Chains A and B, each alone.
Chain A
Amino acid sequence: MSALRGRIADLSPAELSARLNSDGLALSVPPFTVRVRSPIPVVREGIERMYALHEHFGDDEVFCDFHLSILPRLGWTGLRCELDVDGQRPFTPLARGEAFAFFEWGLNWCVTSHCHHWLTLHAAVLERDGRAVLLPAPPGSGKSTLCAWLMQQGWRLMSDELALIDPASGQLSASPRPVSLKNESIALMRQRLPDAVFGPVAHDTLKGMVAHLRVNESSLRQAALPATPRWIVFPRFEKGATLRAVPRPKPQTLVELASNTFNHHVHGPRGFECLADLVDGCEAFDLSYSQLDDATTWFDSLTRSS
């Protein structure tokens, strides 16, 4: 039987680099095992910093959910990199500097295209006392920033991108991974969270500037614990606004959630019922805010009110 062989932080840079350059690093990213290969320095740097607390499987023969390589390429306009998912190359190459972000996006793609045993939803998930809040929101709404912040304020980060719902039980599984921050929020989080660890910065991506923030130890330690969805919050960052939370009617919540799923078509009527049950068991709000501290107070009050 294969066993975990220690944390990434315990590997010397030379060992990490050797693994990434040869057979690949069997990285435990609960609830998955991912084999990563790449000769690109920024990928090693990203894994070294963002996955320092995650564990690996050493040289053991182990079942890996996904096999990802980030390969160097030469383009007309400079150095590029390409994502190879075990022989499949689903995306056009990106700039070399985006190689680590490409790994993260590639892993998201693997989960949404292969894991139909869950109902997958584009949403961040935070938990406290076994109860979870779902944050489904379009890019630019400040969802990830809020996530990174609340994680440091005592909420457990289950995911900043993907809610994994078990259609049978309605419970949420956690997949704590680096939080993806964009543009101004990178500087904001560096200033507000001086102890947080940041990954390599990718400039000029389609999403602007992107950098990741390491998931904290307690969120990672509790990765195996599922949670019951209890609140659905649609956050919107609005400059200068005072915090306002408006309850959202259930039908509209259901429609919005359904449009955020990656695979409810795969689950058919059962998927629809699962989503309807989820909405039924949750309170839903539209939240607009500008101050992170106000948001903390409001989220904390959720756990006390019910």
Chain B
Amino acid sequence: MTLPALDLLLLPLREPERLGTLTPGQWDLLVRQGRRADVLARVAERIEAAGRWADVPPEVARHLQSMRLLAQRQHEELRHETGQLLRVFESAGVPLVLLKGAAYVLQDLRVGEGRMVSDIDILVPRERLADVESALMLSGWVSTNNNPYDQRYYRTWMHELPPMRHLRRGTVLDVHHALVPLSGRLRADPSAMLADIRPIPGNPGVYALSPTDMVLHSAAHLYAEGELELGCRGLLDIELLVLEFAQDADFWPTLTQRAAALRWERPLAQALVYLDELLSTPLPPEVRDWARKVHQHSAPAWRGRLLDAMYLRALRPDHASLSDRWTALARAGLYVRGHWLRMPPWLLAGHLARKALMAARAPKPTEA
């Protein structure tokens, strides 16, 4: 069975000079897929950079410009919020380390152009978590979750605290104390990555992970995360990161060595294989071969094939035009697997029972 390809959504990102050939029906589908994948602002920035607005029908252009404006605004807020956070972190004597979208944007990487950043992810050494949390609270960030069970769940088994929201500005902060869920099978200890953080030019006191670690972190996220509604965006992030970093000839060998040192080859290989299969990302042949070999050895043949079939569905944008009859099952399966990887069976059973009980006791949600 062949699944629908991502050609249409990739066209403005890959070949903006061909935009003029699209029919109204193709534009319709492109905007729908892009909206579900949360990449319309990225598409808009590509069109802007290529100077191709004349090829975009006005009724389409206004939607692209709308999302571009929203992303630009988020970036402005991010820069302002980073300044506020820096004051808090300086007072606590902890370096401010940005992750994911926030780090991409502040470093002016290509992957940051048009990248939606609705919340700010930061990484804090686990032993300094208490200091950082109290400093954040004094500055107006409060946890969005007051349930003691949830708090313990996030701290003991997850890699991040429940989101914190600023009382007045409403901005949302995700404080990570590990790289992937603590109870999972990947090494989650961030100390090796924290030992190699890089200052972000133009933002004294603000740091990002090293280029290799940014790629590995993003890949591990796709590997360990069970909810892949924005998986396609994550894959595109990795593509843009590796293509930009690969301008440095040492990048690929450094990346695979680092993955080996952290024992994170599997997530990296998986991400590279899916880049190749879904996005046809131009990877060097030796990197492609390495990724295929590691990926094939990471699971017995039948299980590997099943997982691939699931991922290649779930990593497509969550839109009817890119799904088949198995897509919903694949998403559900990977969701359960995400939890399975994160917690041993006895822990998972207890957690799900507890959640069901909490949901039954909670007040009923009101209608829209």
Contacts and interface: CB of A to CB of B under 8 A. Distances in A.
Interface of A: 1-2, 33, 60-65, 67, 86-88, 90-92, 94, 105, 114-117, 206, 265-268
Contact of A94 (B62, B70, B365, B368): B368
B368 A92 contact: yes
B36 A265 contact: no
Nearest to A31: B59
Contacts of A94: 367-368
B134 interface: no
Among B25, B76, B366, the one with the most A-chain Cβ atoms within 10 Å of its Cβ is B25
Given A2-B24, A86-B319, A267-B69, A63 B365 contact: no
Interface residues of B, number: 28
A267 B24 CA distance: 29
Interface in B311-344: 318-320
A4 to B, nearest CB: 13
B contacts with A: majority SS: helix
B367 A206 contact: yes
A160 B57 CA distance: 28
CB-CB nearest 4 A-B residue pairs: A61-B25, A91-B368, A116-B66, A117-B66
Interface in B51-65: 57, 59-60, 62-63, 65
Given A92-B368, A114-B63, A67 B70 contact: no
B28 A61 contact: yes
Contacts of B59: 33, 63, 65
Interface of B: 23-25, 27-28, 31-32, 35-36, 57, 59-60, 62-63, 65-67, 69-70, 73, 76, 318-320, 365-368
B365 A114 contact: no
Given A87-B36, A87-B318, A266 B73 contact: yes
Contacts of A63: 24-25, 27-28, 31, 57, 59-60
Contacts of B67: 116
Of B57, B60, B367, chain A has the most CB atoms within 10 Å of the CB of B367
B32 A86 contact: yes
28 contacts: A33-B59, A61-B23, A61-B28, A62-B24, A63-B27, A63-B31, A63-B57, A63-B59, A63-B60, A64-B28, A86-B320, A87-B36, A87-B318, A87-B319, A88-B36, A90-B368, A91-B368, A92-B367, A94-B367, A114-B35, A114-B63, A115-B63, A115-B66, A116-B66, A117-B63, A206-B367, A266-B70, A268-B73
Contacts of B318: 87
Nearest to A167: B69
A116 B70 contact: yes
Contacts of B70: 116, 266
A115 B69 CA distance: 10
A67 B35 CA distance: 12
Contacts of A266: 69-70, 73
B25 A117 contact: no
A115 B24 contact: no
Contacts of A62: 24-25, 28
